[in-house]
Amino acid sequence: MEFSLTQEQLQLRSTVREFAEAEIAPHVPDWDENQTFPLEAFKRAGELGYIGSIFPEELGGAGLGYIDYAIIMEELSRVDPSFGLILAAQCSLCTNHIFLAGSDEQKRRYIPKLATAEWIGCWSLTEPEAGSDAGGTRSRATKDGACWVLNGGKTFTTNAQYADVCVAMAVTDRAASQHGISAFILEKGVPGYSTGKKENKMGMRASATGEVLFNNCRVPESQLLGKPGEGFVDSLRILDGGRISIAALSVGTAQGAYEAALKYSKQRKQFGRPISEFQAIQNKLADMATEIDAARLLTYRAAWLKDQGHRVTKESSMAKLFASEVAVRVSNEAVQIHGGYGFIKDYPVEKFYRDAKLCTIGEGTSEIQRLVIARQLLKTP
C-alpha cells in the first residue's frame, strides 16, 4: 500500500491552493452575500486545467486521474465550497456524462469547451416529484420525424442559469420504466429550452441552483446522448464518480472549517489563556482532525479504485456518506470553538456550517447512500 501523494500531486495541491487563496478567497464573503456566480474565476480555473482535469488532453482536459481531481476539489472547497459545487456539476456530472456515453462527434463538440470552462455545463436529473426516486422522472421526450420533442421541467439544477450546455434526462418509453429514460444534450438558445426560478439558498450561495424548463423543445436526433432508454442507468454510473467529487468537496469544506477553528483557538484567550489550552477544545480539535483524515482516506480509496478502472458504487457512496457527515460535524464544532463569534459573518465558519449541509443532500442524501451501500453489501454471498 502507498499512502503518500506523488511529487506531482503535492505540487498540484500547492498550485491550486495558491490560485484559490489569491483569486477566490478575497471574494468569498461578497459572492456569498450577493449570490454572485463566480464566472470569471471559474473560467480562469478552466484555463489553468482545473475544471477538465480528468479528461484526456486531446479533448482539452489535463489527462489526470480521480485522485488529482479530488485534490483540486478539496483545495477549491477549502476556500469556497460553492466553487467546488460548480466544478462538481460541470466536470463529474455534465462533461463526464458526455465523455462516458457520447458519440465521438458529441465528445469533440462539447468536451473541449466544457473542460476548459469556455462553456458552462449543467446536469438535470432531479424533478419536483422525482428527487431520491429519480427513476420517477416525468419530463418526456417524444419522437417526431428526425427530432425529439421535450416537455416538462427539472428542479435544483446546479449552474442552470449560467449553462451553455445541459445534459437532461427525459422519459422516452414509459412502459420500460427505468430503462425508458434517455439523456439529451441541450444547448442554450434552442427553442423551447429555458431556465426558471433561481433558488435563494441557505448555503452554497455562489453556486446557482435553478429550474430547467422544456416547452416543446425540439432537438435533432443527434442530441440524444447514449443509447435510447439508457439515460437513467448511465446516470447511476455517472453518480458513482460524482459521489467521489462530493466526498472531496466535503473533505475540503471540513478542512477549511477545521483550519479556521484551530487558528482561532490559539488566538482567543479566556480565563487568562488561549482556549486551545483547555482540554475540551483540544478534544474537539483532535476529533475533527481524525475524522477529516478518515474521510480523506475513504475518498482517496474510491478515487484510486476508479483510476484502476473498478466499479466503485459502494466505495464512492461510503466516501460520500462519511465525508459529508464529517463536514457537517466539523463545521458545527468549528462554530462552537468560535463561541459567539462563530455566529457572526465576520468569521468564515458560519459559512462553512451553512455550506456543509448540502453535502449530505446533493447527489443522493445520506439516507440514499446507506441504501446504496446496503444493497451492495447484501449482493455479496
Q: Least distance to ligand FAD from the beta carbon of 193, Å?
A: 16
Contacts 24+ apart (CB under 8 A), 14-21: 15/48, 16/50, 16/71, 16/72, 16/75, 16/76, 17/75, 17/78, 19/44, 19/45, 19/48, 19/50, 20/75, 20/76, 20/78, 20/79, 20/80, 20/83, 21/79
Q: Quickly tell me which residue has 448540502 as its cell.
A: 358
Cα atoms in the 13 Å half-sphere on the side-chain side of 376: 14
Residue 300 binds ligand FAD (CB under 6 A): no
Please answer whether residues 131 and 86 qualify as being in contact, where contact means their C-beta atoms are separated by less than 8 angstroms.
no
Cα-based distances in Å from 67 to 9, 179, 306, 359, 362: 8, 32, 9, 19, 21
Of 141-149, 212-220, 302-310, 367-375: span binding ligand FAD (CB under 6 A): 367-375
Active site residue 333: no
Residue 72 binds ligand FAD (CB under 6 A): no
What is the distance in angstroms between the CA of the first residue and the CA of the last residue of the chain?
Answer: 27
Q: 273 vs 375, which CB is nearer to ligand FAD?
A: 375
Binding residue (CB under 6 A) for ligand FAD from 16, 64, 76, 125 = 125
Helices (H) then strands (E): counts for the chain? 12, 10
Residue 123 binds ligand FAD (CB under 6 A): yes
Q: Least distance to ligand FAD from the beta carbon of 239, Å?
A: 9
Selecting among 74, 211, 291, 363, the annotated active-site residue is: 363
Q: 15 vs 365, which CB is nearer to ligand FAD?
A: 365
Of 6-14, 108-116, 139-147, 151-159: span binding ligand FAD (CB under 6 A): 151-159
Of 212-220, 266-274, 348-356, 363-371: span binding ligand FAD (CB under 6 A): 363-371
Q: Least distance to ligand FAD from the beta carbon of 297, Å?
A: 25
The conformational region for residue 68 under phi > 0 = left, psi -120 to 50 = alpha, else beta, is: alpha
Binding residue (CB under 6 A) for ligand FAD from 364, 369, 372, 373 = 364
Binding residue (CB under 6 A) for ligand FAD from 234, 325, 350, 363 = 363
Residue 158 binds ligand FAD (CB under 6 A): yes
DSSP letter at 276? G
Which triple of cell numbers denotes residue 179?
430503462
Q: 125 vs 247, which CB is nearer to ligand FAD?
A: 125
Q: Quickly tell me which residue has 462552537 as its cell.
A: 336
10-39 residues in contact with ligand FAD (CB under 6 A) are none
Cα-based distances in Å from 94 to 105, 159, 233, 268, 278: 16, 10, 15, 44, 47
Q: Least distance to ligand FAD from the beta carbon of 272, Å?
A: 44
Residue 367 binds ligand FAD (CB under 6 A): yes
Residue 156 binds ligand FAD (CB under 6 A): yes
Q: 238 vs 275, which CB is nearer to ligand FAD?
A: 238
Distance, in Å, from the CA atom of 66 to the CA atom of 134, rounded to the nearest integer, reads 26
Residue 368 binds ligand FAD (CB under 6 A): yes
Q: 49 vs 364, which CB is nearer to ligand FAD?
A: 364
Of 44-52, 103-111, 282-290, 364-372: span binding ligand FAD (CB under 6 A): 364-372
Residues 348, 353, 357, 358: what is their CA dihedral angle, to the nearest 10 degrees? -10
Site string for ligand FAD, 82-111 (x = CB under 6 A): -------x----------------------
Residue nearest to ligand FAD (CB): 131
- Exposure letters 169-196 (e unless 16+ CB within 10 A, then b): bbbbeeeeebbbbbbbbbeeebeebbbe
Q: 12 vs 122, which CB is nearer to ligand FAD?
A: 122
Residue 235 binds ligand FAD (CB under 6 A): no
Residue 185 binds ligand FAD (CB under 6 A): no
User: Could you tell me where the DSSP H helices lie in the chain?
Assistant: 7-19, 28-34, 39-47, 66-79, 81-87, 96-101, 104-115, 231-267, 279-307, 313-337, 349-359, 366-379
For the annotated catalytic residues, the residue numbers are 363
State the residues that interact with ligand FAD by CB under 6 A. Answer: 89, 123-126, 131-132, 156-158, 201, 204, 209, 358, 361-365, 367-368, 371
